């Protein structure tokens, strides 16, 4: 189904204004991912479908269009150097400066859960027998309810688990069938899943109880630069002084455009005295 110029600009504006997603150069992608679905569901135009999205108060249509127009591809131990740095640098700093034996970690744009579960397994291994003394529950948010439902279920195919050690597979998973494994309940209980649109203002409770580490990896690739800069500065405001911020290796933060200090590729830090 072809999209008219009017429909294309209307859809691009809707996605940008509501979700910060920039699709201004993605006309072919939009037609490829939505055209057949619209035809199969009986819609006669993109305008008619967008009207349905805006009128749906259940949120189901918003989830559908987001899933169609963005890519929720991830896997366990993605960008493993991030986890090495977490274990060797961030956790020793965070533990030394923790209050009430609490660590605050946020997986923003958690997708289907591999990132937050990888982090939870690392924390469990790091603390070992002292784990019960610490509150290390991870906040995991996404705008898509459907991917969060998958994350909550915690069932994954073997292809996405290649980066995991045999020890972690044995310790933290149970085999469902020849192709699928499920995260153990102990690790599931370490994750707090909540829907959140990154274009919204940060909740006041995040500012009152700031984070030691925020993951926002491979999410901002969909955003234009002004949207990205504004979001990065909002993340800065909910990090502890000295807290760390992870982005994807395909992403970057222009120096001088935000308050973050550059640490190394894809790793930034809020200054200790800010």
On whether the CB atoms of residues 79 and 217 are closer than 8 A, the answer is: yes
Going by C-alpha positions, the residue among 15, 140, 2 that lies closest to residue 65 is 15
Q: Which ranges in the chain are annotated with CATH 1.10.155?
A: 5-69
Query: How many CB atoms sit inside 10 A of residue 152's CB?
Result: 15
Is the pLDDT at 204 greater than 80, yes or no?
yes
The pLDDT mean for the chain works out to 92
The pTM for the full model equals 0.85
On whether the CB atoms of residues 183 and 204 are closer than 8 A, the answer is: no
On whether the CB atoms of residues 270 and 232 are closer than 8 A, the answer is: no
DSSP secondary structure string for all residues of 43-87: ---HHHHHHHHHH-SSSHHHHHHHHHHS-----TTSSHHHHHHII
Query: How many CB atoms sit inside 10 A of residue 243's CB?
Result: 25
Predicted confidence (pLDDT) per residue in 16-51, tens digit: 998 888 899 999 999 999 999 999 999 999 999 999
Q: Which ranges in the chain are annotated with CATH 3.40.50.150?
A: 80-155+184-269
Domain 5-69, what architecture?
Answer: Orthogonal Bundle (1.10)
The fold adopted by the segment(s) 80-155+184-269 is Rossmann fold (3.40.50)
Predicted confidence (pLDDT) per residue in 227-273, tens digit: 899 999 999 999 999 999 999 988 888 887 889 999 999 999 999 87
């Amino acid at each position: 189904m072809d999209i008219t110029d009017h429909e294309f600009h209307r859809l691009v504006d809707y996605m940008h204004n509501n979700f910060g997603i920039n699709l201004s150069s993605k006309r072919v992608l939009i037609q490829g991912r939505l055209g057949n679905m619209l035809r199969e569901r009986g819609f006669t135009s993109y305008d008619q479908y967008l009207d349905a999205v805006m009128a749906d108060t259940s949120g189901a249509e918003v989830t559908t269009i987001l899933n169609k127009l963005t890519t929720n591809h991830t896997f366990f131990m993605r960008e493993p150097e991030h986890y090495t740095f977490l274990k060797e640098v961030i956790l020793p700093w965070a533990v030394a400066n923790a209050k009430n034996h609490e660590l605050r970690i946020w997986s923003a744009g958690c997708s289907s859960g591999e990132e937050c579960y990888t982090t939870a397994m690392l924390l469990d291994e790091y603390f070992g027998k002292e784990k019960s003394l610490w509150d290390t529950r991870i906040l995991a948010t996404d705008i898509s309810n459907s991917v969060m439902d998958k994350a909550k279920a915690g069932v994954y195919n073997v292809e996405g688990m290649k980066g995991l050690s045999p020890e972690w597979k044995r310790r933290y998973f149970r085999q469902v069938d020849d192709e699928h494994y499920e995260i153990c309940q102990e690790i599931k209980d370490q994750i707090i899943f909540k829907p959140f649109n990154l274009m919204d203002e940060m909740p006041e409770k995040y500012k009152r109880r700031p984070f030691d580490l925020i993951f926002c990896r491979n999410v901002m690739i969909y955003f234009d630069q002004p949207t990205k800069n504004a979001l990065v500065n909002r993340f800065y405001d909910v990090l502890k002084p000295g807290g760390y911020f992870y982005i994807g290796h395909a992403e970057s933060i222009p120096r001088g455009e935000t308050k973050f200090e550059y640490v190394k590729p894809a790793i930034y830090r809020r200054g200790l005295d800010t």
